Structure 1
Amino acid sequence: MAALPHANGADSNYSNLEVVHSAPENRYEGGSLQVDHTSYPHGKFQPVPVTSYAGAEPKPWIEHDPNSPPTAREEGGYAPEAVPAYFRHPGAPELHDGPLPAPPPPTICGIRRKKFWIIAGVIGLLVVAAAVGGGVGGALSNRSSSGSAQQTESGANSGSNTGSGSASGTGTGSNTPSVAVQDLSIAAIGWESKTGVKQYRVYHQPASQSNLFESKWDSAEKSWQLSQITQSATEPVKKGSPLMAVVGYPHGNSTAFELSKTLYYQQPGGVLMERNSQDSLPAEWDQAGFSTRATASANSTIHSYLFTNLTDPNLILTVFYQESGAGSLTMSRYVESKKGGITSNWAPTKQNIDIAAGSPIAAASVGRPQNIRMYVTKADGTLTHHPYDVERNILGEAVGELPPHPV
């Protein structure tokens, strides 16, 4: 080691410097780079001269920058050596054998490209759907407004003898039924002809007048045809009269007679009327035998049931109605057979049962067509039904009850 000069500036001549070469204790030999790791674990790298190099001149110094990647030794048989961790820059990536890791997937606005396009497609569909929905809604709204205006005009001009006023109404556009619908009386029948044509008939009384009309539709024509049944001047009909219709062969004979339609209604004083018409003559309605034979109460409804036996031709036609108030039900029957002739020509039978005044009346067959169930409303509002034998004219006791519908 060289002796350092004294600070007092005593001898500034450096010719007497003595250099002593001493080999470091911990060095790597065999290459052109010698590193003393014990002396410089954390400081700047300092090259150490090679004092001897067997068989060759010393190589020039090779100084490694701590921030540069590792460099293999030029000779000496040593494997390439990675830069120690304390010589690497803190931001340098770790070095590993094998292929480099795959680069991160491309993104759009911080979202992976595939996910971005999926989201964009969904948003686009929502925008298109909203636009279409708005357009359709606006068109329907305009159409509804124009339709309401046309309907109001039609309702104001209705009232002709064709009965078109019943369909027009007031055109208010609300969900509440118009007065025309609330006061409408209606009945319907249907059957299939011998030629396979399905026939439908609807009977109604428009609120604007007291005449009765028939609307006809069949599967061959597939269009509605309207015809008038009564003339108010000579054939008065009670305003809001209950209607009931049946269809069948007169005298229970389908060979000798044409199919006949029968309609029941009330006159203004409550007198019950019956009209008949052959299917081939829709505009001709004759007054039938039950007309003027009975008078129903002011709020009575009407129901009829037709039983025919075409094998042993016979016919039983029963009309149900109320003559006077609660607790009264009357059944008038017409009975005719091939063997016995007419055995009952609208003979009335009054039944004392629990029935409300103005109760609705309905009936349907159960099993055999001559056995039916008759449905009525009791005085307390409970719906009940009675078994009825059409052939023997026997009405049984109530066999079932349903509680009144809550208000």
Structure 2
Amino acid sequence: MDKKTGYSDLEVVRDPRRDLENGHGIEVDQDRMQVVREEDRKRPYEFAEQDYYAPPQYVASVKEKEQVQEKQRILGLKRRTFWILLGVAIFVVIAAAVGGGVGGALANRNKDKKNEQTPLENPNIPSTASPRNKTSPVYQNSSLAAVQWVDQEDVNHYHVFYQYKDKRIVESAWNSTSNGWTVSNVTDDGTDVKLGTGVSATGGYPNKNTSWPGGFVKDVFYATSSGKAFERQSPYKSQVGVWGSDNFSGQFSAANLSSFATYWQQDLVKQSQVFGVLFQDLGANHLNIAKFADGPWEVKGHSISMGDGSPIAVSHTGGDAFDLRLYLGDSDGKLVQYEYDLGSSDISNPQTTAFDLPPQTPLCVSTQNYTSSFKGNTLPDCADNTPNTQLILFATPDRSGLTLVSWNCSSGFLDQTSDIKSLAKSDRTYVGLSSHSDGSVYVMFDGGDGPEMEEWTVPKRAGSGGWQLRGTVPINTTIPATGQSGR
């Protein structure tokens, strides 16, 4: 995206030394008079012995030498010595003049540079200058959320949600019919949204009814400027393409740095559902889980070791429908896993790791079935209830890189960062991460021009291939992104 100046824009500058020729370090001015020794062509001469390849040399008599020496003296000095000293003197004078001019110019230039320092160089000078033009409209520390589903007509949908600098929450959407991305608003210009709010999303069928007039419903959760947790839903009241605030909105307060995580489990055969929303209301060492089944929303608080503004992510184990795993950062900034019962909102059995996960760190979790990597009766007993491997992806503390950690019931936590080495480029600042059950991971990063987004794919089974870059996701345009045709 950078615009670089081409060489065609350069002008030829006249060299002030154009009349000088350079030879062996000595500058010769061709416009000046040259000193030439006049020869007395009438005097007798002799030839001395010489090397065969050398030119003849003139040899004078002793008397002639004395006469010539007298004629060659100027101010008591030999002519050669005199001219050498004179040349040195002239050179010194010129060098002093040129040096003084150059030194003065450099001094003025350095003075100008000092007066034009950026805020980083001199924090006492206020400035609105940016080190690089940020062309992206996305908020620099935007959260990221994603939803995927297949509708009744077998059309595949992918939606990604994030925040603009003007506080709006926006979605990039793709479906297998149009085979291209579009960008649209989730919240309007006047909607109250806190800049830097946590964002989470999920989806399902209202009243467990796939024939619901509006079809599949998307739900996006965020915080207002006053700290109220809000739910934005579309289709809203069966109006396709319309977003509105649903009944979760305004019932609960979220801490200033709170993240959000959501999970909507539906059994359309048994006509049952549980909807969970996780967030912090009191800051450090406290987690709220709001739950909706068939009655009103209810909330359950947990006093646990948890950093203020800790990232939150939940993922399914692949076994019982209510058996989830919860990931967050403890008060020491370390990655912790909990067992999370979606039905009761209970969390238990914390497992603390040595991996750093400080507050506000981008985090997402994908799943991968690992049972196919076992042969015969070698499959661990625990895999009957928890067949999924959890792939936990999060940014390094300085956000200059990404760490990938896997977990399953038999191997525990393993560092798998080498699996994403080719994708996680080092010249980036990682802004946000999100994933969904279809195996897509959305990576928001800043390479210098503001946030951009890529879509990565996770191997569905262990050993079935590596992580891949599927393409880019547009965040400020309706033009289809590159690399999507292979979806």
What TM-score bracket applies, with the shorter chain setting the length?
0.5 to 0.7
Structure 1 pair 394–406 and aligned structure 2 pair: CA distance change class (3 A): closer
Structure 1 pair 278–332 and aligned structure 2 pair: CA distance change class (3 A): same
Structure 1 pair 221–403 and aligned structure 2 pair: CA distance change class (3 A): closer
State the match for 1:263 in structure 2. 220
Trace 1:2-401 onto structure 2 (pairs within 5 A).
145=4, 172=132, 180=138, 182-207=140-165, 209-233=166-190, 235-256=191-212, 258-278=215-235, 281-336=239-294, 342=295, 345-366=296-317, 367-401=319-353
Structure 1 pair 272–146 and aligned structure 2 pair: CA distance change class (3 A): farther
Amino acid at match of 2:160: V
- For each residue in 1:29-85, what CA deviation from the matched residue of structure 2 results, as whole angstroms up to 9, or x when unmatched? xxxxxxxxxxxxxxxxxxxxxxxxxxxxxxxxxxxxxxxxxxxxxxxxxxxxxxxxx
Structure 1 pair 146–286 and aligned structure 2 pair: CA distance change class (3 A): farther
Rg bigger for which structure? 1
Residue 282 (structure 1) shift: 5.0
Distance between the aligned counterparts of 1:324 and 1:400, measured in 2?
22
State the match for 1:101 in structure 2. none
Structure 1 pair 298–264 and aligned structure 2 pair: CA distance change class (3 A): same
Structure 1 pair 401–198 and aligned structure 2 pair: CA distance change class (3 A): same
3-state SS of the aligned residue for 2:297?
strand
- For each residue in 1:70-109, what CA deviation from the matched residue of structure 2 results, as whole angstroms up to 9, or x when unmatched? xxxxxxxxxxxxxxxxxxxxxxxxxxxxxxxxxxxxxxxx
Distance between the aligned counterparts of 1:406 and 1:227, measured in 2?
32
Amino acid at match of 2:229: L
3-state SS of the aligned residue for 2:207?
helix
Could you tell me whether the CA contact under 8 Å between 1:227 and 1:283 is conserved in 2?
no
Residue 172 (structure 1) shift: 3.8
Residue 186 (structure 1) shift: 2.5
Amino acid at match of 1:360: P
Residue 171 (structure 1) shift: 9.9
State the match for 1:13 in structure 2. none
3-state SS of the aligned residue for 2:219?
strand
- For each residue in 1:286-335, what CA deviation from the matched residue of structure 2 results, as whole angstroms up to 9, or x when unmatched? 21111000111101111111111111111111110001121100111101
Residue 241 (structure 1) shift: 1.4
Distance between the aligned counterparts of 1:178 and 1:372, measured in 2?
36
3-state SS of the aligned residue for 1:182?
coil
Structure 1 pair 253–189 and aligned structure 2 pair: CA distance change class (3 A): same
Residue 400 (structure 1) shift: 4.3
Distance between the aligned counterparts of 2:196 and 2:5, measured in 1?
32
- For each residue in 1:248-297, what CA deviation from the matched residue of structure 2 results, as whole angstroms up to 9, or x when unmatched? 11122223452111111110011010111129855311211110001111
Percent identity, aligned pairs only, is 26
TM-score, length of structure 1 as denominator length: 0.52
Distance between the aligned counterparts of 1:249 and 1:202, measured in 2?
19
Could you tell me whether the CA contact under 8 Å between 1:228 and 1:283 is conserved in 2?
no
Amino acid at match of 2:208: G
Could you tell me whether the CA contact under 8 Å between 2:334 and 2:355 is conserved in 1?
yes
Amino acid at match of 1:306: W
3-state SS of the aligned residue for 2:321?
strand
Distance between the aligned counterparts of 1:296 and 1:193, measured in 2?
33
Structure 1 pair 181–171 and aligned structure 2 pair: CA distance change class (3 A): farther
Amino acid at match of 2:350: A
Residue 224 (structure 1) shift: 2.0
Amino acid at match of 1:365: H
Could you tell me whether the CA contact under 8 Å between 2:199 and 2:220 is conserved in 1?
yes
- For each residue in 1:100-148, what CA deviation from the matched residue of structure 2 results, as whole angstroms up to 9, or x when unmatched? xxxxxxxxxxxxxxxxxxxxxxxxxxxxxxxxxxxxxxxxx9x96279x
- For each residue in 1:378-407, what CA deviation from the matched residue of structure 2 results, as whole angstroms up to 9, or x when unmatched? 111110111011123321130342332677
Could you tell me whether the CA contact under 8 Å between 2:201 and 2:220 is conserved in 1?
yes
Please give the root-mean-square deviation of Cα atoms over the aligned residues, in Å.
Answer: 2.8
3-state SS of the aligned residue for 1:399?
strand
Structure 1 pair 199–171 and aligned structure 2 pair: CA distance change class (3 A): farther
Distance between the aligned counterparts of 2:230 and 2:262, measured in 1?
12
Amino acid at match of 2:188: Q
3-state SS of the aligned residue for 1:396?
strand
Amino acid at match of 2:143: S
Unaligned runs of 5+ in 1: 1-140, 148-169, 337-341
Q: Which one has more relative contact order, counting CA pairs under 8 Å at least 6 apart?
A: 2
* Structure 1: 4+ residue segments shifted above 3 A: 170-174, 177-181, 279-283
Could you tell me whether the CA contact under 8 Å between 1:384 and 1:402 is conserved in 2?
no
Q: Aligned pair count?
A: 233
- For each residue in 1:225-266, what CA deviation from the matched residue of structure 2 results, as whole angstroms up to 9, or x when unmatched? 222222233x21111211111011112222345211111111
Could you tell me whether the CA contact under 8 Å between 2:274 and 2:291 is conserved in 1?
yes
TM-score, length of structure 2 as denominator length: 0.44
State the match for 1:164 in structure 2. none
Distance between the aligned counterparts of 2:285 and 2:338, measured in 1?
14
Amino acid at match of 1:349: K
Residue 198 (structure 1) shift: 1.4
Higher-strand-fraction structure: 2
Unaligned runs of 5+ in 2: 7-129, 357-395, 399-487
